[in-house]
Amino acid sequence: MLVTVDSNGRAIKVQGDPSQPVTQGFLCGKVAKYLDRVYAPDRILYPLQRKPGVAKGPLVRGREHEAFERVSWDEALDAIAARLKQTAERYGPESILPYSYAGTMGVLGYGSMDRRFFHRLGGSQLDRTICSEAGGLAWNLVYGKKLGTPTEDFALAKLIVAWGANIHGNNVHLWPMVEQARRNGARLIVIDPYRTRTAALADWHIAIRPGTDAALALGIMHVILREGLEDRAYVAENTHGIERLAERVGAYTPERVAAWTGMTASEVEQLAREYATTRPAALRMNYGVQRSENGGTAARAIAMLPALTGAWKHRGGGGQLSTSGAFQWNKRALERPDLAAVSPLGRLARIVNMSTLGQALEKQGTGNREQGTENQTAHPDSGPDVHALFVYNSNPGAVAPNHNAVRRGLERTDLFTVVHELFFTDTTDYADYVLPATTFLEHTDIQGAYGHYFVQLSSQAIEPPGEAQPNVWLFSQLAQRMGFTEECFRDTPEQMIEQALAVGPDGHSTNAGMEHIALDDLKQQGHIPLSFHRDPEDHPFQPYTAGPFSTPSGKIEFYSETLAAQGLDPLPAFVAPTESRWSEGAKRFPLEFLARKNDNYMNSTFANLDGHRKMEARTSQKLELHPLDAESRGIADGDAVRVWNDRGELRLTALVNGSVPAGVVAARLDWAKLHPEGANVNALTSERLTDLGAGATFYSVLVEVAKDSSQSSP
């Protein structure tokens, strides 16, 4: 992204960098309006302390500052350090819980000085499972590493399958490649229960029932193997466990799969044939598939498809879940887990799962993952209750599942909460201290990616407003106040960028794939491709064309000894989610609910800006439902409705359209405080975890809906 700054140091324009081969000079709709966010009149500019006697809980929008008083950074840092010390002494340092996710995805801002700080302190470690853990683990079980078809090469495909992937809405920079491929005759198939922008533009939209993807993937494999459409040579050479997989898929006849997925048997066959016989065939699986209780297994089964057909062999074929495995940052240097040895614990702290924050705060245990983990270090399911919560890069008051449980936890008067933020969010309403954070225009960072293969430098463009400070600065300062004397707490961002790159004596990175990259070159060029992607025309990168693979068997794994050793099913199977139309709970709550993202927000980011809200007006605070489900409940388009289950309730306006199949309803993630009753879709979602990776299950939720007779239609 290029930022134009005027002579007064004010950013006046943002635009895509035309020299970036993936983003090609355009920005998505929400980031094109990024300056509205940077210069928003309600940015938090100064450190704030909750006024004595003001209860924690939703504050009136636009008047949040009245609950706080301005303090200096010195006062705030001293007071926070004193409280953290006291908490650590009284309850043990593990009673302090950091909570962060993807507010910034810069390598430094996402996880560096903060990790050092909490390792040295002995604070609980956070298992960052809320987004992609189930799918990432699934992909790694099959291939060993998260690589994929280069984004640019999707333009060469003759078939693109978007599976649980809202390309046009969430990943718009892939869309031009899709369009180019289609100009050359490619077809686009979208597998998504919801009619997204992507689905509406597809050649074939398969409105699969939520949580039934494993059945479909196994059904496709059934047809492929029955009809001999697999790539036998590729499978023999590169994969492990085909015989046992073949045995397993025997039961997944098109007829049975049709009954689960809501497709017809002949559609299952058609999809399998088209996928297996079109070359190149590119699979864009995204994380939508795995926000479901059986989502890890579903993602794993889907990931096997290009291995069965040998699609990786054809340039423009194969698939992509994420390209993040290609970025081998020197994380040990950035995060310094070795500092845990000098913490009061003398070891790595227990791990708390971020997807069960409600439970962690309600003192019902910490929701640690028990299975399928790749980084199981040390996490006893015990340990002290959480007494201090340090939130940055995240808005758990809006994005965490089971909102009402989270809210009860945040309301605890004995919980000390610090929030580092840009705006008064659903989370700052519960903070004891609110600290002002910078936007990415106001600090320097280095970036990897999960949708391309370029290392990028994002240089500071403007001065921060007020007293806003970046994450690195905050945790460096706080470390000084805690009396942490290690040199690494005084590192500058530039030094840390060099550490991330593991810069060698000649000034170049020593990270695998980055050996040609020097910081000075990044400063000049902004973005530099990873080594294997430097000459895409003559030496195109095609992952997984040949082994050895970084799995235990050295092969692509259809059958997983790793899972077998954990007592889990080594082969994929379809298991209906606990909350689905087949479950006992469906008697009381018969509708499957999709707690969806917005095309013009970034999770909960941007939802507070009027311009962005306008772009979302069509679906904002609406419940989308099928005409049959509306009719049987006496609901008409535009009626006020009540949506509820045992966890919570939400009042929305009915939008009866063709966007969801019968039995499925959908609404959008929003700030809870922008709804009249102070709740959002996560009031309905649960803390139940995915089968692999212990991730959140935003898309396995049952609800009931009724006309809201307490209100007349707006």
Ligand X SMILES: Nc1nc2c(c(=O)[nH]1)N[C@H]1C(S)=C(S)[C@@H](COP(=O)(O)OP(=O)(O)OC[C@H]3O[C@@H](n4cnc5c(=O)[nH]c(N)nc54)[C@H](O)[C@@H]3O)O[C@H]1N2
Judged by the rule CB under 6 A, the positions of this chain that interact with ligand X are 101-104, 109, 130-132, 163-166, 169-170, 191-194, 196, 208, 210-211, 213, 286-289, 291-292, 392-395, 399, 420-423, 425, 437-438, 471, 594-595, 597-599, 601-605, 669, 681-682, 685, 698-699
* Identity of the residue, 283 or 517, whose beta carbon is nearer to ligand X in the bound complex: 283
The first and second tokens of residue 598, run together, are: 């917005």
The first and second tokens of residue 266, run together, are: 């002949």
The answer for residues whose C-beta is within 8 angstroms of residue 401's C-beta and 6 or more apart is 355, 358, 682, 685, 686, 687, 696, 697, 698
The first and second tokens of residue 684, run together, are: 């309905």
Q: How far is the CB of 555 from ligand X (least distance, A)?
A: 27
From the list ligand X, Mo ion, none, partner contacted by residue 35 (C-beta under 5 to 8 A by kind): none
Decide if 76 contacts 467 (C-beta within 8 A): no
From the list Mo ion, ligand X, none, partner contacted by residue 599 (C-beta under 5 to 8 A by kind): ligand X
Of the CA atoms within 13 Å of residue 323, those in its CB half-sphere come to 24
Looking at the DSSP bridge assignments, the partners of residue 623 are 654
Q: How far is the CB of 640 from ligand X (least distance, A)?
A: 21
* Identity of the residue, 560 or 680, whose beta carbon is nearer to Mo ion in the bound complex: 680
Q: How far is the CB of 709 from ligand X (least distance, A)?
A: 27
Looking at the DSSP bridge assignments, the partners of residue 641 are 652, 707
In whole angstroms, give the CA distance from residue 135 to residue 194.
Answer: 20
* Identity of the residue, 104 or 542, whose beta carbon is nearer to Mo ion in the bound complex: 104
Q: φ, ψ for residue 450 (rounded to 5)?
A: -120, 10
Position with the least CB separation from ligand X: 288
Q: How far is the CB of 52 from ligand X (least distance, A)?
A: 25
Q: How far is the CB of 137 from ligand X (least distance, A)?
A: 15
Decide if 386 contacts 354 (C-beta within 8 A): no
Q: x/- binding map, residues 114-143, to Mo ion, per CB under 5 A? A: -----------------x------------
Q: φ, ψ for residue 422 (rounded to 5)?
A: -100, -25
Q: In what order do the strands lie in the sheet with 454-458?
A: 445-447, 454-458, 527-529
* Identity of the residue, 438 or 509, whose beta carbon is nearer to ligand X in the bound complex: 438
Q: How far is the CB of 89 from ligand X (least distance, A)?
A: 26
Q: How far is the CB of 351 from ligand X (least distance, A)?
A: 18
Q: How far is the CB of 345 from ligand X (least distance, A)?
A: 25
From the list ligand X, Mo ion, none, partner contacted by residue 597 (C-beta under 5 to 8 A by kind): ligand X
In whole angstroms, give the CA distance from residue 140 to residue 682.
Answer: 29
Looking at the DSSP bridge assignments, the partners of residue 661 are none
Q: How far is the CB of 289 from Mo ion (least distance, A)?
A: 13
Q: How far is the CB of 703 from ligand X (least distance, A)?
A: 13
From the list ligand X, Mo ion, none, partner contacted by residue 685 (C-beta under 5 to 8 A by kind): ligand X
Written in H, E and C, the secondary structure of 14-25 is EECCCCCCCCCC
Task: Tell me the C-alpha to C-alpha distance, in Å, between residue 622 and each of 199, 323, 611, 651, 680.
Answer: 20, 34, 18, 9, 11
* Identity of the residue, 87 or 402, whose beta carbon is nearer to ligand X in the bound complex: 402
Residues numbered 586 to 605 that lie near Mo ion (CB under 5 A) are none
Q: Is 143 helix (H, G, I), strand (E, B) or coil?
A: helix
Position with the least CB separation from Mo ion: 131
Q: How far is the CB of 226 from ligand X (least distance, A)?
A: 23
From the list Mo ion, ligand X, none, partner contacted by residue 356 (C-beta under 5 to 8 A by kind): none
State the maximum Cα–Cα separation within the chain, in Å, rounded to a whole number. Answer: 73
* Identity of the residue, 161 or 482, whose beta carbon is nearer to ligand X in the bound complex: 161
Based on the number of CB atoms within 10 Å of its own CB, is 505 exposed (0-12), middle (13-18) or buried (19 or more)?
A: exposed
Query: How many residues sit in the footprint of Mo ion (CB under 5 A)?
Result: 1
Q: How far is the CB of 290 from Mo ion (least distance, A)?
A: 11
The first and second tokens of residue 606, run together, are: 């941007």
Length of the chain: 714
The answer for residues whose C-beta is within 8 angstroms of residue 86's C-beta and 6 or more apart is none
> Does residue number 501 form part of the binding site for Mo ion (CB under 5 A)?
no
In whole angstroms, give the CA distance from residue 552 to residue 555.
Answer: 8
Q: How far is the CB of 319 from ligand X (least distance, A)?
A: 14
- Planar angle of CA 140, 173, 163, nearest 5 degrees: 45
* Identity of the residue, 189 or 235, whose beta carbon is nearer to ligand X in the bound complex: 189
Q: x/- binding map, residues 307-346, to Mo ion, per CB under 5 A? A: ----------------------------------------
* Identity of the residue, 81 or 602, whose beta carbon is nearer to ligand X in the bound complex: 602
Helix or strand (DSSP H, E) at 308:
helix 295-309
In whole angstroms, give the CA distance from residue 487 to residue 501.
Answer: 19
* Identity of the residue, 398 or 514, whose beta carbon is nearer to ligand X in the bound complex: 398
From the list Mo ion, ligand X, none, partner contacted by residue 659 (C-beta under 5 to 8 A by kind): none
From the list Mo ion, ligand X, none, partner contacted by residue 163 (C-beta under 5 to 8 A by kind): ligand X
* Identity of the residue, 392 or 532, whose beta carbon is nearer to Mo ion in the bound complex: 392
From the list Mo ion, ligand X, none, partner contacted by residue 194 (C-beta under 5 to 8 A by kind): ligand X
* Identity of the residue, 401 or 570, whose beta carbon is nearer to ligand X in the bound complex: 401
- Planar angle of CA 458, 287, 601, nearest 5 degrees: 55
* Identity of the residue, 489 or 698, whose beta carbon is nearer to Mo ion in the bound complex: 698
From the list Mo ion, ligand X, none, partner contacted by residue 705 (C-beta under 5 to 8 A by kind): none
In whole angstroms, give the CA distance from residue 146 to residue 153.
Answer: 17
* Identity of the residue, 34 or 392, whose beta carbon is nearer to ligand X in the bound complex: 392
The answer for residues whose C-beta is within 8 angstroms of residue 535's C-beta and 6 or more apart is none
Residues interacting with Mo ion, by CB under 5 A? 131
